[in-house]
Amino acid sequence: MTTYTRERIKELLKLYFIMGSNNSSIAPDYVLEEALKGGISVFQFREKGKGALEGKAKFQLAKRMQKLCNHYNVPFIVNDDIELAIALDADGVHIGQEDEKAIKVREWIGNKVLGVSAHSIQEIKLAMEAGADYIGIGPIYPTSTKKDAKSVQGISLIEKVKEQNLTIPIVGIGGITIDNAFPIIKAGADGVAIISEISMAENPYEQTKRLKKVVLGQE
């Protein structure tokens, strides 16, 4: 359905950076550019929570971030806001179980990338039937970034996905750092999705490079 092959999606998920304006104490555009230089493989614009921008300001930030991603040839995904994704002609959207239904979103976005969060094998199978391109599984570890995150589940669901030979690409999310990222890859995830370990880092460029080495098994 999408123009990205399953193998390409798996590659893109390797080091998935997510952020919005409230995830860093310095300019979000600067943080994103450092992360792009450091080697992130895909970016998700997630403008939500306390102090999040709305309306024109949100649109303008998204547009600037999309331009940066285009410059570094990294796909630009929009969290939750399907209208924004369509208005910007983003590369894809990410939705959760409390957002619009995946089957409807697939109709609206055509062949753009569709990521869906899931917390059980049943939710994963339903997302696959609805046309999801990849699944976000979390929180793997405790996180303070998402206030309404579900219970911490470690790598158990990733292991179940592998045991059941479900071939959809998967990315782990929640509380992932340089020190705990590799077990997620070892369990069979295609990559890790990260906010604060990069967005709050003193040097987002160096931190991204370090994370990249970890997910590639080079450290």
Q: Residues in the site for ligand LCLJCK34, rule: CB under 6 A?
A: 16, 18, 44, 46, 48, 79-80, 94-96, 99, 115, 117, 136, 138, 146, 171, 173, 193
Query: How far apart (Å, rounded) are the C-alpha atoms in residues 173 and 194?
Result: 6
Q: Give me the torsion for CA of 114, 119, 124, 130, rounded to 10°.
A: -50
Closest approach of ligand LCLJCK34 to the CB of residue 148, in Å:
7
Footprint of ligand 3NM on 132-161 (CB under 6 A): 136, 138-139, 143, 145-146, 149
Q: Is 178 in the site for ligand 3NM (CB under 6 A)?
A: no
Footprint of ligand 3NM on 22-81 (CB under 6 A): none
Query: How far apart (Å, rounded) are the C-alpha atoms in residues 196 and 34?
Result: 14
- Interface ranges with ligand 3NM (CB under 6 A): 117, 136, 138-139, 143, 145-146, 149, 173-176, 194-197
Residues serving a catalytic function are 46, 117, 146
